[in-house]
Each structure stands twice: as structure tokens, then as C-alpha cells.
Amino acid sequence: MENSILNVNHLNAYFGETKILSDINLEIPKNQIVAFMGPSGCGKTTFLRCINRLHELTPGARTEGEIYFFNDDIYKLNLILLRRKIGMVFQRPNPFPTMSIFENVISGYTLNGIKLSKQEKEEIAEDSLRKADLWKEVKDTLHKKGTFLSGGQQQRLCIARSLSMKPNILLFDEPTSSLDPISSNKIEQLLLELKADVTIIIVTHNLQQAARTSDFTAFFYLGELVEFNKTQVLFSNPAKKQTEDYISGRFG
């Protein structure tokens, strides 16, 4: 695929002796939203965590195969640099509880010892919060704790925190599963706006969400990538019976 940002070749992932992912081959196109879907335990979150090398932090976890970010082998890249380029937003909002909204947004720089002037910090914070559609709501309370925000606002704060590092890819692990429908809708709208600047990969159990937001969808089952295609094609005319059964609610 031309214009791909990630190339995954023969990826296997393990927890101890248990194989979680089996021979995954996939190209992720740049500046698109790609949804990973499939029943619980099928390996989609493990795959997401392999992309920015979080998987290997678990004792006994390991991978085989290759993942290329543009032309760089991610297993040879500096980890701090990799995680700046490939950010992650988790299922539950997790702003740093001791930090203000402002400090949360620029925490990637602070924690990595990257020196910024006061003006640079302010510009990055405002730009990131605007991109996360949160600036108008928090511009007068930047020095309050991030935890005083609502759940949906906290999730957008976590998105702003990831955006502040100017990533090329943002990984989302079920980012709306703990949010109410209005907050979920805001996050979905935000994803559609963000793909102009970043490639987005989202793990979701919500088929409607995948259909509404993503350009491409990957369907996983029992650790294997069953099917990958443009979302419209995969939902309307799946090539594999397993995909059709899952979409029609016959299993999973």
C-alpha cells in the first residue's frame, strides 16, 4: 500500500508460552482512522500495545516479527522517541492526579527532561488543548487539577497530552467505553478532525463506532487477522464468513 505509515510483517506475540497473536501482516495507511474489532480476548489490544512496544513491559511477554514505522524498525528505535512518535490514549481517562491541566498537557516534555521556555510551554499547551477541543472549556482554569474535570473532559485532556508531543500516530484503546453517549460523540467527532494531522488506530467493541468513524477496519479472531479492508466494504460485503457472523451478531 502506497502512503503507509506502519508495515507489520509476520508478527507473533506471546505471554509466556501462550501465543496471543499469530502471523499478523498488515499495512496501516497514513492519515486514516483504522479500527481494530473482534470479540474479547482476540488479541486486538495486545496488537495495539505491540505497536508502541508496551506489550513487552509485561513480565514474560515477547514478540517475533517486524513492525516498521515508515522505514524504521521499531525494535531498533529509541523507546522514548518511539513513544513520542506513537502516542497512546487508554480506556479510562488517566490524567496525572497531582498535576494541573496545564502541567498534564506538557508533562511529556517535563518527564523526559526536555527544556522549554515559558512561552513555548504556553504555546504547546494552548495548541494541544485547541486540537483536543478543550481549550474554551479550560482556558480560565489551567492551573486547577486535571482530575476536577468530567470524564469526557479528562479523556480529551489525555488526548491533548498525547498531541503535545506531535505524534505521527495515536493509538486509542476503547477510548469511549467509560464515557456517556454525549462525551463519546465528542470524542468521535474529535477523531475525525484529528486524522488530518495524525494516523489513528482505535480498538473498539462498538461496531457502530467503527462504522461511523473509521476508514479501514481490521477484524481479529482468536489471535489471527481474519480480514482487513475499507470499512464500507468490510461491513457491507465481508470476504470471510467469520467477519460476516461477527458483524451480524451471530457470535462474539
Which three cell numbers mark 237? 460485503
Q: What is the pLDDT of residue 251?
A: 65
**Residue 207: closest CA among 183, 238, 182:** 238
Q: What is the pLDDT of residue 3?
A: 87
Q: What is the pLDDT of residue 2?
A: 65
pTM score, whole prediction = 0.94
Tell me how far apart the alpha carbons of residues 237 and 243 are, in angstroms, rounded to a whole number: 10
The stretches in the chain having pLDDT less than 50 are: none
Q: What is the pLDDT of residue 112?
A: 86
Report pLDDT digits (tens) over 172-207. 999 999 899 999 999 999 999 999 999 999 999 899
Q: What is the pLDDT of residue 57?
A: 86
**Domains of the chain in sequence order:** 4-247 (3.40.50.300)
Which three cell numbers mark 69? 514505522
**Residue 190: closest CA among 122, 142, 233, 137:** 137
Report pLDDT digits (tens) over 130-141. 999 999 999 999
